[in-house]
Amino acid sequence: MLDQIMEVLTPRRMMTVGNLALQFEMEPEELHPQLKQLDSDGRIRYALSKCNGACSTCSTCTTSASGEIIEEEPKVDPTAIVISLELRPSDD
C-alpha cells in the first residue's frame, strides 16, 4: 500500500489527505497509518498540520488550547497537504 500511495502522489508532487484517500476509496483516518509510516520513513512530509485540533498547532501536540492533556491521537485533517519527497522517474 505504501508504494501505491507514492505512485499516486509522486507525479502530482502534492495532494490533500482527503483527495489522496478518495483515490483509494478510503476515509482519511484509514489512510493515516500508512501516511504516518511514509512520514517517518522520510518519503513524504506535511505542508500543513495533520492535526485538526482547536489549538492549530502541530500534530504531535499533547495539550489542548485549554491546557488539557490529550491522550488520544489527533484526528487527520483531510485538508492537510502531503508532499512527496521522492523524485518522479524521468521519461527517458
Cα atoms in the 13 Å half-sphere on the side-chain side of 58: 5
Q: Which is nearest to 37 in space by CA: 67, 91, 82?
A: 82
- pTM of structure: 0.70
Mean pLDDT of 1-21: 94
How much is the pLDDT for 6? 95
Given a cut of 60, is residue 38 above it in pLDDT? yes
Q: Which is nearest to 36 in space by CA: 8, 67, 60, 72?
A: 60
What are the tens digits of pLDDT across the range 57-89? 454 556 666 667 666 665 677 888 888 998 876
State the pairing for strand pair 14-16/44-46. unpaired
Q: Give the start-to-end residue ranges of the domains of the chain.
A: 2-84
